[in-house]
Amino acid sequence: MSEQNTAPKETLFSPKNRKLLSEPIGKSNPITVQVLGICSVLAVTVQLRASLVLAIAVVAVMGLANVIISLLRHGIPPRIRIIVQLTVIASLVILVDQVLKAFVYDVSRQLSVFVGLIITNCIIMGRLEAYALQNKVWPSFLDGIGNAAGYGSILLLVAAIREFLGSGTLMGYQMIPNFLYDIGYVDNGFMILPPMALITVGVIIWVHRHRDRGLVDIS
Amino acid sequence: MKALINLVEKVKPNFEKGGRFEKFYRTFEAFETFLFVKGDVTRSGSHIRDAIDMKRTMVHVIIALIPPLLFGIWNVGFQHYRATGEEVAFIDQVLFGLIHVLPIIIVSYASGLAVEFIFATSRDHEVNEGFLVSGMLIPLVIPVTTPLWMVALATVFAVIIGKEVFGGTGMNILNPALLARAFLFFAYPSYLSGEVWIETTLQEGQQLVDGFSGATALAVMAAGEGTMPSDFDMFFGFIPGSIGETSTLAVLLGATVLIATGIGSFRIMASVFIGGLAMGLILNLFAVNEFMAMPAYKHLIMGGFAFGAVYMATDPVSASQTGVGKYIYGVLIGVITVLIRVVNPAYPEGMMLAILFMNVFAPLIDHYVVESRVKRRMKRMQKIRLQTQA
């Protein structure tokens, strides 16, 4: 709290802070622009339900990790900062894992190792290194939530496409009417396999760059 | 002919800059160059333009595809009436085949060309010629029972993801026609494996003959039960299978056209056959089951081996470019095909996966072939330099 008192000019949702939230969802999206965290996108997006849970878990871990590292930033010796970051993330992930096991056991089993692998999600440590270590608590929190939301939104989009085309359902509810099956429609089995996740992400990147020409000349 | 040229010249201004249909210039251009070779000449440097442009090359491949296509059309009818046990005239068999094969060809061309034209217009590049061949290859490598909407979907997928995202014809790393088949194979497995090779929708009063089996020779070998067709049947193609691939003879006829016109690479075709034969012989040595002990030459006339070797592996865009590279590429396709067939029970046919797999490796092969050449010449140069110094 003392952090905010020293900078009274900055309101909680000033344009600068709002940008922290909105930019990672669009212009600097961790998946479609920075191409980070791809592995989990390929692995858990077969069903929307699992992706939703993972997205929420990542939002929680990232928001909290950024806050904790930001609070500790003056006390962390630069030499061991990576270890400290990992400890913080790992503790949070264990917490999240326990919560999932307690309340949504079936989803937790479905996500299996991927909850644990949130620790290795490069987006989280990337934001800790790049942002939380240098910035105050509130902006760090927003940055964490924003990036996690950018990651989560792509996760949900890919999962929705894959579940809809691959199984004909969304969140487990049948979406494609029976008469379509009767006249010969068949669910696309390729959508359930990992390669299609990669291609779906590729198409999303394509559409994203087509709409936002500023991204095209990055490399 | 003259009248046609005049007509083209007359409507041309409408499509050029400032004309009424300026937006559709690319569509017009596609049809114009389809009819006539463009009168472009070289204006600088000592270059010679070959009179055969890419559209003409592709037309040669289409001509080479005629024997398997015609045989396939007849075979569709032949297999159907054999399944129902009816004796019908030759012409009825052909008609039955035409009725079932033509819609697939039309759908494949219509959907693929629609995508091509949309991309050419929006990106303002020429309409790519490559699809003339892909559009014919796709119907030939799928079973006749494939639903038409699946054909359309697979074609659109192959053209967009296989070709346009890489920048169009000449830029694709995978063979688009095989990609379409692979898409169908993984997306709708029940429509592309098992007993789907013969059209057995029965009319009033028809019934399947007793003991009828629609399994392919590969499926029979993989399952270890059922009767194998004779070598004669397999070579001439009187067996169930995808529309155009059953007849090794028809494929060889097409191969002679490709080799005579210099369009298909003889090195690739020959080395695919050699690779397959060699791997078959090696497996014979270590045979522990019936499939491994099967005479190696049978691999070459079973399934889509010949078709893949002649029309798919030789695709000039996705194959290796260097001479030595072509041999390596071809032999490995043959070896991997036989390996997938015999060792992996999940995939009865390995040709498609082997070619796609080697398509990915073709640039790597080329890279190392070129590197080794460069190294050898450097060494030679150094030797000469040392000699002159001494």
What ipTM score was computed for the predicted complex, to two decimals?
0.81
Quote the minimal CA–CA distance from B363 to chain A in Å.
Answer: 21
- Chain-wide mean pLDDT for chain A? 85
**In angstroms, how far is the first alpha carbon of chain A from the final one?**
40
Chain centroid offset of residue B141 CA:
7
**What single letter denotes the amino acid at residue B165?**
V
Report B:39-78 residues touching A (Cβ under 8 A): none
Contact at CB, A191 and B188, closer than 8 angstroms: no
Answer whether A63's CB lies under 8 Å from A144's CB. yes
The DSSP letter of residue B38 is: -
What are B152's two structure tokens?
Answer: 């359309």
Answer whether B151's CB lies under 8 Å from B104's CB. yes
Residues of A with CB under 8 A from a CB of B: 184, 186, 188-191, 193, 199, 202, 206
Per CB-CB distance under 8 Å, the chain B contacts of A188 are: 187-188
What is the rounded average pLDDT of the residues A133-160?
90
Instruction: Assess if residue A199 is contained within a domain.
Output: yes
Instruction: Assess if residue A17 is contained within a domain.
Output: no
C-alpha span between A90 and A86 (Å, rounded) = 6
- The residues, ordered by sequence, that sit 6+ positions from A6 with a Cβ below 8 Å of its Cβ are none
Per CB-CB distance under 8 Å, the chain A contacts of B186 are: 189-190, 193
pLDDT at A10: 65
Classify A174 as helix, strand or coil. strand
Answer whether A141's CB lies under 8 Å from A188's CB. no
pLDDT at B41: 64
- B316-355 burial by CB neighbour count: b if 16+ within 10 A, else e? ebbbbbbebbbbbbbbbbbbbbbbbbbeeeebbbbbbbbb
| A7-11, A77-81, B222-226: segment of lowest average pLDDT | A7-11
Q: What percent of chain A has pLDDT over 70?
A: 94
pLDDT at B36: 66
Q: Which helix (H) or strand (E) holds B229?
A: none
Nearest CA to A159 among A91, A100, A111, A211? A111
Instruction: Assess if residue A155 is contained within a domain.
Output: yes
pLDDT range class, residue A3, cuts 50, 70, 90: very low
C-alpha span between A211 and B222 (Å, rounded) = 50
**Alpha-carbon radius of gyration of chain A:** 19
C-alpha span between B72 and B168 (Å, rounded) = 30
pLDDT at A218: 53
Contact at CB, B191 and A193, closer than 8 angstroms: no
Per CB-CB distance under 8 Å, the chain A contacts of B191 are: 186
Contact at CB, B186 and A190, closer than 8 angstroms: yes
Query: Of how many residues is chain A composed?
Result: 219
Whether A54 shows a pLDDT value over 70: the answer reads: yes
- Residue B156 burial (10 A CB sphere; 0-12, 13-18, 19+): middle
Cβ-nearest to A190 among B165, B183, B191: B183
C-alpha span between B343 and B299 (Å, rounded) = 13
Q: Which helix (H) or strand (E) holds A169?
A: strand A169-170
Q: Which domain covers residue A211, as residue numbers? A: 30-218
pLDDT at B205: 64
Instruction: Assess if residue A150 is contained within a domain.
Output: yes
C-alpha span between B119 and A71 (Å, rounded) = 52
Quote the minimal CA–CA distance from B147 to chain A in Å.
Answer: 8
Cβ-nearest to A189 among B149, B165, B189: B189
Query: Of how many residues is chain B composed?
Result: 390
What are B63's two structure tokens?
Answer: 């001509």
pTM of the model: 0.84
Report B:152-191 residues touching A (Cβ under 8 A): 161, 165, 183, 186-191
Answer whether B250's CB lies under 8 Å from B238's CB. no
Query: How many domains are there within chain A?
Result: 1
| Per-residue pLDDT in tens (0 to 9) along chain B, 390 residues | 677 777 777 777 777 776 767 767 777 777 776 666 666 666 676 666 666 667 777 888 899 999 999 999 999 988 888 888 888 888 888 998 999 999 999 999 999 989 988 888 887 777 767 788 889 999 999 999 889 999 999 999 999 998 888 887 778 889 999 999 999 999 998 888 777 777 777 666 666 766 666 677 777 777 766 777 888 888 888 888 888 888 899 999 999 999 998 888 899 999 999 999 999 999 988 888 878 888 888 888 887 899 999 999 998 889 999 999 999 999 999 999 999 988 887 787 889 999 999 999 999 999 999 999 999 999 999 999 998 887
Instruction: Assess if residue A105 is contained within a domain.
Output: yes
Contact at CB, A189 and B147, closer than 8 angstroms: no
Nearest CA to B81 among B249, B238, B303? B238
A184, closest residue in chain B (CA to CA)? B147
Residue A59, CA distances (Å) to A53, A144, B89, B360, B390 in order? 10, 7, 71, 38, 73
Instruction: Assess if residue A111 is contained within a domain.
Output: yes
Instruction: Assess if residue A23 is contained within a domain.
Output: no
Instruction: Assess if residue A2 is contained within a domain.
Output: no
